[in-house]
């Protein structure tokens, strides 16, 4: 039986090879997975032209996945350095990489990325449009915007971020409701400017059916972008954010009618007490489609440490039901991250994702923590390093400060609680003061 997309296959009762791989990774029944995909509650972003892909499931009952942003820009046009980041992100087991390139040989970089990467590849076509056509924003036509989406689809992007919910109604709502930081989404701000200058509807909203044609042809997952996401705590959960979210829910149903998989992108800044409510709103208004959040950052006063503010919010969001976390690095709001920033961002976001998985009771999550606890109880340092999200840093810390006795560390020495409990329970001498 033929099928066009993963969702189409799932609705027809077909088990694809991608479903089989994901079911094995997630330790769940493949038929149960197929049913979740048919309902739109799980997506497997898998472009037909991405041949090196190792597929992943995002959504209900799946491990919380993380995304790494990278890409070339006019100020930092270093393709080789960005490919180094790609290799490091894959080495660190990031499930998804978003190419946010917006200048120069973007197609060349994207092609290399798709050919090399087993991770899911996402793009934001509107970022690429200005450089692709080499003309000002207001001169680009609606057809040209959609042609860039098709180019990215042909090149193998597994999902594309499209800010289709920022239509004229949402723009009018924004203009009536003043914000402290206005529109902070790069794609959202570009579309708002295009709409204002040309006095036209958002082309991705107006020609949404054409967008679905493209996604269906290549099995591109549609990541409906939050062009009106809050850029600070003061703007969170406001009228324009909710207005856009309602529209995204309507667009989700239209996509599902065409068997196009959908992810909903969520807010980037909000206080701790609003996170659970925002996850609930997305799940209700967008029919339980997978939720993808940037952070969220829970305070606005920590530039240089926003990987921490983001991880706090991400853990709470994941525990509340968010499915996909976009990493944030220490360089957020300041500059393009370097490879060390990227590593910090990946680890902090993986911690948040795993913490959420523990709270959600995801298959296999608790077993990892129990294995680490057993290694600590056994004072098995090599096993601790092997199980750690990042083995390099803990190994370096221990090597930089080696204790006199190998069954201790330099914090407690022979007063180590673990060491002494192991000894007393085995009826051995607790030799704190002698040199045994």
Binding-site residue numbers for [4Fe-4S] cluster are 409, 412, 416
State how far the Cα of 351 lies from the Cα of 358, in Å rounded to an integer.
11
Phi then psi for residue 417, to 5 deg, are: -65, -40
Q: Which residues are annotated as a binding site for substrate?
A: 69, 98, 127, 163, 185-187, 226-229, 265, 292
Tally of CA atoms within 13 A in the half-sphere of 223 that contains its CB: 32
With beta carbons less than 8 A apart as the criterion, state whether 227 and 165 touch: yes
H helix or E strand, kind and range, residue 68: strand 65-70
Helix/strand/coil percentages in the chain, nearest 5: 50, 10, 40
In sequence order, the β-bridge partners of residue 347 are none
State how far the Cα of 326 lies from the Cα of 295, in Å rounded to an integer.
6
Which residues, in sequence order, are CB contacts of 160 under 8 Å at separation 6+? 122, 123, 124, 125, 149, 152, 153, 215, 220, 221, 222, 223
Phi then psi for residue 74, to 5 deg, are: -65, -40
H helix or E strand, kind and range, residue 263: strand 262-266
- Pairing status of strand 58-59 against strand 42-43: antiparallel
Rg over alpha carbons for the chain, rounded to the nearest Å, is 23
Which tokens hold the place of 74? 């006019």
**How many CB atoms are located within 10 Å of the residue 367 CB?**
10
With beta carbons less than 8 A apart as the criterion, state whether 55 and 48 touch: no
Q: Which residues are annotated as a binding site?
A: 69, 98, 127, 163, 185-187, 226-229, 265, 269, 292, 333, 409, 412, 416
State how far the Cα of 355 lies from the Cα of 276, in Å rounded to an integer.
15
Q: Which residues are annotated as a binding site for Zn(2+)?
A: 269, 333
Place of tokens 């609680």: 417
């Amino acid at each position: 039986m033929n099928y066009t997309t993963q969702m189409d296959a799932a609705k027809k009762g077909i088990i694809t090879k991608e479903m089989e791989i994901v079911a094995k990774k997630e330790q769940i029944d493949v038929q149960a997975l197929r049913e979740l995909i048919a309902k739109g509650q799980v997506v497997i972003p898998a472009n037909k032209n991405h041949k090196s892909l190792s597929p992943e499931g995002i959504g209900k009952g799946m491990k919380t996945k993380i995304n790494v942003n990278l890409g070339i820009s006019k100020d930092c046009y270093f393709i080789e350095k960005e490919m180094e980041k790609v290799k490091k992100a894959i080495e660190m087991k990031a499930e998804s990489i978003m190419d946010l390139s917006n200048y120069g040989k973007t197609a060349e970089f994207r092609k290399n990325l798709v050919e090399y990467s087993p991770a899911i590849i996402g793009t934001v076509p509107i970022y690429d449009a200005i450089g692709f056509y080499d003309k000002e924003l207001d001169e680009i036509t609606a057809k040209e915007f959609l042609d860039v989406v098709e180019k990215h689809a042909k090149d193998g992007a597994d999902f594309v971020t499209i800010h289709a919910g920022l239509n004229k109604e949402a723009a009018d709502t924004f203009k009536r409701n003043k914000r402290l930081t206005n529109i902070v989404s790069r794609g959202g701000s570009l579309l708002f400017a295009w709409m204002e200058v040309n006095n036209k509807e958002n082309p991705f909203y107006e020609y949404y059916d054409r967008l679905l044609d493209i996604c269906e042809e290549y099995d591109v997952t549609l990541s409906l972008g939050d062009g009106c996401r809050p850029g600070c705590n003061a703007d969170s959960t406001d009228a324009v954010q909710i207005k856009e979210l309602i529209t995204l829910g309507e667009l989700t149903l239209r996509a599902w009618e065409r068997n196009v998989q959908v992810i909903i992108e969520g807010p980037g800044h909000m206080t701790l007490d609003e996170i659970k409510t925002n996850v609930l709103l997305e799940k209700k208004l967008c029919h339980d489609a997978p939720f993808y959040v940037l952070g969220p950052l829970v305070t606005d006063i920590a530039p240089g440490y926003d990987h921490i503010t983001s991880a706090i919010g991400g853990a709470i969001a994941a525990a509340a039901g968010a499915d996909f976390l976009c990493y944030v690095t220490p360089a957020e709001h300041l500059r393009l991250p370097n490879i060390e920033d990227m590593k910090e961002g990946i680890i902090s976001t993986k911690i948040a994702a795993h913490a959420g998985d523990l709270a959600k009771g995801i298959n296999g999550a608790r077993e990892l923590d129990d294995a680490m606890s057993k290694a600590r109880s056994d004072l098995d340092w090599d096993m601790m390093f092997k199980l750690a999200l990042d083995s390099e840093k803990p190994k370096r810390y221990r090597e930089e400060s080696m204790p006199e006795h190998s069954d201790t560390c330099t914090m407690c020495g022979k007063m180590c609680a673990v060491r002494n409990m192991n000894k007393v329970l085995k009826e051995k001498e607790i030799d704190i003061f002698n040199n045994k």
